[in-house]
Structure 1
Amino acid sequence: MKKIIEKYKSMPIQLRASIWFLMCSFLQKGISTITTPIFTRILSPDEYGSFGTFNSWYSIIYIIVSMNLASGVYTTAMVKFSDDRNILASSYQGLTLFLCSAWTIIYLIAIDFWNNLFSLTTVQMLSLLLMVWTSSAFSLWCVEQRVSYSYKKLVLVTVIVSFAKPILGIILVCNSDDKVTARIIGLAIVELFGYSVLSIYQMARGKKLISKKYWAYAFKFNLPLIPHALSQTVLSSADRIMIKNMVGERQAGFYNLAYSISLIMIIFNTALSQTLAPWTYQKLKSNKAEDINGIAVFSMGMIALLNLLLISFAPEVIRIFAPSEYAEAVYAIPPVAMSVFFMYLYDWFARFEYFYEKTYYLLIASILGAALNLLLNYLLIPICGYIAAGYTTLICYMVYSFMHFYFMRRISQEQLPGRKIYNIKHILLITSIFMLSSFGLLLTYKHMIVRYCCLVFILAEVFINRKIIITKSKELVNIRNKK
C-alpha cells in the first residue's frame, strides 16, 4: 500500500487529475445505475416511463436554453484567454443566468402552450428550467477545474451531489402521491443547493456578469454548433418521447429501463475516448497516422466484447434492475447495446473532422442521422411497438458511422494522400462477428442452457487470445500514463 501511495504521489499533476476526473464521471453514472433497481420498484412502469420522457426533454431543452456553453466554447476560451479567467468565468455564468431567465419569462408568458407541447406540469417545467441553469453553472465550474487540474474540489462536490440525489429522491417518492414530480423536485433541490453556490462564487470573484467581448465570442462560436448538438441529442432521446406519445407511458418505461442499462457501456466508451482522443490527435500532428490503426481496432474489439457480455447476461441484468413486470424489456437491450458499439466506432472517424477543422461534416451527419431516426420511429413504432425504437437507433448509428467513415476518407485523401489509416477489413470483421453474435444471443433468451453454452464459447475465445489482449491492454495503459 505504501508503494502504491508513493507511486501515486510521484505522478504528474495532469495524470492524477485525469484519473480523478474519470472517477468522477464513473461515480455520477455509477450511482445512477446502482439506484435504478430501487426506483424501478418504487415507481410503476408508467411513472418510470414518464420520468424517462422528462429526462429526454431535459437533454433537448438544455442545449437550446443554455446554448451548450460549457461544451466547446468555454474550454477553448479558458485556454485562449487564460490571463483573464476570472472575468471570463463570471461573464459566462452571467450569460447562462441571463439565458435561463429569458427562457423562463418566455415560458411564463404562455404556460399552457408549453405544458401541452411537452406534456409536463408547471412544477415539472419550472424544475426543468431550474436544473438547466444549475447543471450549466456546474458544468462551467467543472471546465475551470479541469483546465487548472484542481480535482479535489470537483471530487468533493461530485461525491456529495451524487449521493444526495438518490437519497432525497427516494425519501420524496416514498412520501408522495405524485411520484414523478417528487423525483424531479428531488433532483432540482439537490442541484440548487449543490451547484448554485458555485455559480455565485464565480460571479462574485470575477465581478463582471456582462462582457460584450466574451458574450460575442460565445455566440459566434457556439450558435453554429447548436444544430449539431441538438441533432445528436434528438438521435439519442427522441425515441423515448415518441414511444410515450405513440404507444404509452408503460412501454416508455420498459424502453427507458433497457436504454439505461445498455448505456452503462457508454462509461467504457467515454473512458477509452478520453484516453485515446488526445493520443490520436498527437499521432496526426506528428505525421504518424499509420500508428492509429492497431490501437483503434483493438479498442473496438474490447468495446464489442463488453457489449456482447451485456447482451449475454441481459435477462439476469433485467431481473436485478427491475421487478418481473419489466421482463419484456430484455428484448430492447441487444439493439441498443449494438448501437453503443457504433457510437464508439464513429468517434474514431469523427476525430479527423475535429482535427482538420472540417466540422461542417459533423453537422451534415448529425442532422441526417436525427432526421432518419425521427422518420423511422414515426413509421415503425406504431406498427412494431417500442422494441422498434431500439432497431431504428441501431440503424441510424450504423448509417452515422458510415457517413463519418466516408467523410474521414475524403479528409484523408486531401490531408494524407496515398496513406492508409484504418484496415477496414479488420473493422468489418469485428463488426460482423459482433452483430452476428448479438443476434444469435438474442435468439437464445428463452433457452438458458444454449445461451450459457454460447457464453462459455465467447469466454474461451478470450482465454485463448489472452496474451494478445494483455499486451494490447498494456499499450492502452502506457498511452494514458504518457498523457
Structure 2
Amino acid sequence: MLTTPIFTRLLSTAEYGQYNVFNSWLSIVTIFVSLDLAAGVYTQGLIKFETERKVYSSSLQGLTTTLCLFWTVIYLLFRNFWNDLFSLTTVQMLAMLVMIWATAVFRFWAGEQRVLYRYKALVFVTLGVSFAKPVIGIVFVVLAEDKVTARILGLALVELIGYAGFFFVQMWRGKKFYSAKFWKHALLFNLPLIPHYLSQVVLSSADRIMIKDMVGDSQAGIYSLAYAVSSIMALFNSSLSQTISPWVYRKIKEKKIKDIPSVAYISLALIAGVNLLLIALAPEAVAIFAPRSYHEAIWVIPPVAMSVYFMYSYDLFAKFAFYYEKTNFIMLASIIGAALNVVLNFICIGIWGYVAAGYTTLVCYIVYCIGHYIFMNKTCDKYCDGVRPYQLKKILFITIPFLAMGFLLLLTYNYAILRYGLIAVAAVFAFVKRKQLVGLVKKVMAVKKS
C-alpha cells in the first residue's frame, strides 16, 4: 500500500488499469485452480483436527500442489484459448499460476502460525516479502518496455522465492503428501463453497473488469486506485478477523456462544471507526497516493470504504455456517450478492459511469451481509440450542450511525473547512475518551491470551 504512490506515477492510468484487471482475473482463477483450500476449510480443520494438525497441513499442501500442476498442464495444452479468454499473454498466465501456488503455500503456513498465535516469524516473513516486492517491481518496471508484464513478473519472482520454502517445511513436519481422509474432507467441504468464494471475488473484482470493458482502461485505473486506498482499511479487517477467528471457532466448539458478542460488537465499532477516518481523509489520501489524473477516485472511496465494514460483518456471521459445514447456506447468500452486483454494475455503470460501481458494491455487500445474518440464525437455531449470538438492534446501533456519518463526510468534500472541523471534533472526542477506547482495543486483543 505504501508503494502505490510510486507505481501510480510509473504507470499510466491505462497501464495501472490493465495491471489491476490482471489482479482481478488472478482472484477469479485462484478459486478454480486452488479451490481456495487455504481459506475457511483450513482454519476450521486446524481446530477440528488439532491433534493431527501437522499431517492435515502437509496433506492440504499436497492437494493444492496437485491441483496447480493439473491446471498448468491444462493451460499449456490450450494456451491460445486461455490467452484470448483473459486477454493476457503466455508469460502473464504462467506468472499467474506460479503466484496462485506460492500464495497458497504461504497462506497454509500463515494460517497455522495464526491459530498457534506465533506471530514473530509471520511478521518477519511478511515484512521481508513486502519490502522485496516493490523494490524488485520498481527495478523491473523502470527497465522494461512492457511495464505491466514487468510488474507482474516482479511479484511472481518474489513470491516464489519468499514462499516456496514453507511447502517443504510443512511437508517435512507432516510427512504426508496424500491423505485420503483429509483430501476427502477438504474437497467435500470446499467444492460446494466454490460459488461462495467465486461470489466474493465477483463482489470485489468484477467491477474493474466491467469498467474496463464498458468504459476504458483509464477509468478502470482510477477506480482501482480508489479500491486500493480503501483496501488500507481492509488490512484492519483481515488482521482483526485472523486474530479472533481461532478464538471464535473455539468458543463455538465449546458451546460458549454467549462469550462471542461482547468482543464482536467492539470489533465492529473499531472497524467502523477506522473506515470513517479514511472517508474523512479521502481527498488527502488520493493526493498522496496518485497524481492529479486520479483525483476523481475520491468519489469512489466512501462507498467502497463502507463496504469494507460489511465485509467484516459478513465474516462474523458466516463463521457459524463454516464451523457446522452448512455450505448450502453460505453458497446461497454469496450467489445472491454476486449476481446482484453484476446486474447492478451493468445497469448503473452504463447510466452513471464508473463511479456508480462503488455504490453498487456497497448495496451488494449490505444484501450479502443480511443473507449471512439470516443463515447464521438458522444454523444457531439447529446446532447451538437456539442461542443466537448477536442482537440485531445492537448491530444496527453501530451500523446506521456509521452509514449516516460516512455519507455526511462525503458531502463535505467540496467544503474543506467544514470537513476539517468535523475531523477536529472527532479528534477531540477521541482524546477525551482515549482511556475507554484503549480499553476496548485491549478487550478485543485479550482473545489472544485466552
Q: Normalising by the residue count of structure 1, what TM-score does the alignment of the two structures yield?
A: 0.84
Pairwise CA distance, 1:270: 2.4
**Equivalent residue for 2:5?**
37
Letter in 2 for 1:380: C
Equivalent pair of 2:189/2:327 in contact (CA under 8 Å): no
Give the corresponding residue for 1:68: 36
Q: How do 1:39-188 and structure 2 match up within 5 A?
A: 39-75=7-43, 90-146=58-114, 153-188=121-156
Specify the alignment match of 2:167 in structure 1.
Answer: 199
- Alignment partner of 1:183: what SS? helix
Q: Secondary structure at the match of 1:38?
A: helix
- Report Cα offsets for 1:51-95 as digits up to 9, x if no partner: 111111111111211122223444555566667766655544443
Secondary structure at the aligned position of 1:70 is classed as coil
Deviation, structure 1 residue 221: 3.1
Deviation at 1:105, TM superposition (A): 2.1
Task: Output the amino acid matched with 1:433.
Answer: P
- The separation in 2 between residues aligned to 1:285 and 1:328, in whole angstroms, is 47
Q: Where do 1:321-360 residues align within 5 Å?
A: 321-360=289-328
State the Cα deviation string for residues 226-284 of structure 1 (Å, max 9, x = none).
22212112211111111111111101111111101111112222233234444445555
String of CA shifts for 1:280-304, please: whole Å, max 9, x gaps.
4555566654454444333322221
What displacement does 1:427 show? 2.5
Structure 1 segments unaligned to the other structure (5+ residues): 1-32
Structure 1's 412 and 147: CA in aligned 2 closer, same or farther, altered over 3 A?
Answer: closer
Among 225, 232, 252, the residue aligned to 2:220? 252
Question: Could you tell me which amino acid in structure 2 is paired with residue 333 of structure 1?
Answer: I
How far is 1:189 from its partner?
1.4
Aligned to 2:194: 226
Contact 2:115 2:246 in 1 (8 A): no
The yes-or-no answer on 1:442 pairing with 2:410 is: yes
Rounded to whole Å, the distance in 1 between the matches of 2:248 and 2:111 is 22
Larger Rg: 1
Change (3 A) 1:97 1:426: closer
CA distance in 2, matches of 1:405, 1:204: 41
Deviates more, 1:126-135 or 1:353-362: 353-362
Distance in 2 (alpha carbons) for counterparts of 1:375 and 1:228 = 17
Letter in 2 for 1:409: N
Q: Percent identity?
A: 54
2:58/2:175 contact within 8 Å kept: yes
Q: Is the 8 A contact 2:47 2:246 kept in 1?
A: no
Segment drifting more, 470-479 vs 182-191: 470-479
Structure 2 CA distance for partners of 1:273 and 1:323, relative to 1, 3 Å: same
What are the superposed Cα offsets for residues 321-368 of structure 1, whole Å, 9 maximum, x if unpaired? 111111111100000001011112223322332344433211111111
Query: In the alignment, what sits opposite 2:401?
Result: 433
Q: How does 1:391-410 map to 2 (within 5 A)?
A: 391-410=359-378
Q: Which moved more, 1:437-446 or 1:415-424?
A: 415-424
Q: Give 1:63's aligned amino acid.
A: I
Note the C-alpha offset of 1:156: 4.2
Q: 1:288 to 1:72 in 2, by over 3 A?
A: closer
Unaligned segments of structure 2, at least 5 residues: none
Q: Distance in 2 between matches of 1:210 and 1:284?
A: 29
Q: Please tell me the residue identity of whatever aligns with 2:22.
A: F
* Mapped partners of 2:123, 2:280: distance in 1: 34
- Distance (Å, rounded) in 1 between the aligned partners of 2:244 and 2:51: 29
Greater CA drift, 141-150 or 356-365: 141-150
Does residue 319 in structure 1 map to residue 306 in structure 2?
no
Q: Does 1:268 align with 2:229?
A: no
Whole-Å separation in 2 of the counterparts to 1:420 and 1:150? 31
Give SS of 2:39's match.
Answer: coil
CA drift of 1:417 comes to 6.8
Provide the rounded CA distance (Å) in 1 between the counterparts of 2:370 and 2:336.
12
Instruction: Give the TM-score taking structure 2 as reference length.
Output: 0.90
Once the two structures are TM-superposed, the CA of residue 208 in structure 1 deviates from its matched residue by 5.7
Cα offset, 1:194, TM superposition = 2.3
